[in-house]
Chains A and B, each alone.
Chain A
Amino acid sequence: MKIIACIKRVPTTDLQPRVAADGKSLDAAGVQYMTSFYDEIAVEEAIKQKEKHGGEVTVLTIGSAEASKEVREALAKGADKGVILVDNAWGGRDPLATAKTLAGKITELGADLVLLGRVGTDRDNASVGPMLAALLGWACVTDVVGLELGDGKGTARREADAGTETYAFALPAVITCQKDLNEPRYAGLKGIMAAKKKPLEESPCPPATSQVEIEKLALPPARKAGRIVGEGAAAVPALIDALRNEAKIL
């Protein structure tokens, strides 16, 4: 089984963001990066499926060359090879441009299964996975919390408003991963050393035209300080009153 896990390097979620001088992007100073939370779940699932069914896991990202740290982390956990399509302006790509580039590389590499996070934690679009599937013409199940693979086919569970849906699909397929799918493992220090010897290909990313562009980036207004209305059961009426008449949410 050939599995490709797509990951994105994103600013850490504890970032205290500052808007850069251009008014369109984040100030890069002091920003720390990590693999997008749901993409870690995609990597974990890829490795678990490989451990179960055999095969090979490739980790694919579009990003700056510094994304090698995040790719090597996935290699340290058990993926077999990494590919970085180097694009220093990766953050500016829109989902369709991203999906087109990924589709091109995935066609070249060949795969039975492509796993992605359900959403990137930086931009919250949740669209690259389904767009990629459409471009490839493959089956797609999103927000998956359970995945079983068989001979040329698979089933995937997802939580929908009405309850749990179970889908059957034929491989190759694109799956986007939801939180409860698995518990990502730690890289492990031996794995980190082993990852140094695994292949990591860096190739220039084909240019792509984004159809949407960020015009302006503004931080949310600062939250007003909270207020403690009292303590214990005696404070409940005052709290209800405040929620009803001040906050107007009851």
Chain B
Amino acid sequence: MHFAFTPEQEQFRDAVRRFLRDRSPPAEVRRLMDDERGHDPGVWRQMCQELGLGALHVPEDRGGQGFSVTELGIAFEEMGRALLCAPYLSSVLATTVVAEACAQEEAEQIVSRIAAGEQLAALALTEANGRWDAGGVELIADGGRLRGSKTHVIDGHAADLLIVAARASGSTGEEGLSLHVVAADAPGITRRCLTALDPTRKLAGIDFANVEARCISSDAAPALRRTLDIACVAVACELAGVAEALLESAVDYAKLRMQFGRAVGSFQAIKHKCADLLLEVELAKSAARYAAEAATVSDADLPALASLAKAAAADAAMRAARDCIQIHGGIGFTWDNDTHLWFKRAKSAEVLFGTPAWHRERLMRCSEV
């Protein structure tokens, strides 16, 4: 396990940070929040084609860039800091599951188009029961046709291609799970953009009324499990970035803001809050980075580590969000102040792929062998 980044990795971080500083300033985040598509296609193409961020962690022979989850984690930390509005997480879900589930040639075909920014893909997994595990799938695949509904599908309304988790009728748990690809505008599909608490990440509800789709895997449970672990690591890294940005904003403001003839950061109440926050943010960052490394080296403990990191980062980000508003005082509660944008991302990502309580329980289950 590495506890420091290589010079190349640091360079990569700098490049992503510079790009995002330029392309994802708060004004742009606010513009895209109100845009139904939720991203700027030009910026997305640049991210894929110039920075090579699409399918960063997928092996080259499967259509990706051949980097590791460690690099992916770096990208997510930076995206969390900048609150980037882009179909990045959805692409990671889609390319990971395809790369894991499909035969090499088919994977390469699908992933390379997503990685090139030519096609947007979304993984349709969660349903009305709100579960993020493979066992929660209820949508039925029957003779190559899909019947059922998905919800909370990240970027599902903007996607060109849907990758749908389904099960054989009569099956339960992790048995009988399959993956299907279908063009998002295929007959029988109805999509609806949902109103999201975090408007920087778009969600869709999708109904499938006897939709003809191509099966790409009929034993999808392992691929879905691995994909969700990687997704949890990615979101943990993103939340570590969110938390760090919030901490920096809080500290900057505490140094600047005068009340009673002194900077509010000179009051111990505020100082200690910032110091406690730094502790929590650094712990979460360590957990997220360790989990990313674990995915990179295919550590068998990845499920436990992904859960640990996700729970820690979600708690740290929520605390940072609360404290950042509190330290800003009234202005932190206003729309024109940017803090709430990060607050909403933190709140929404707290439950995405499972609440911290759920992940802690999973950590315990994985740990007690």
Chains A and B form a bound pair: no
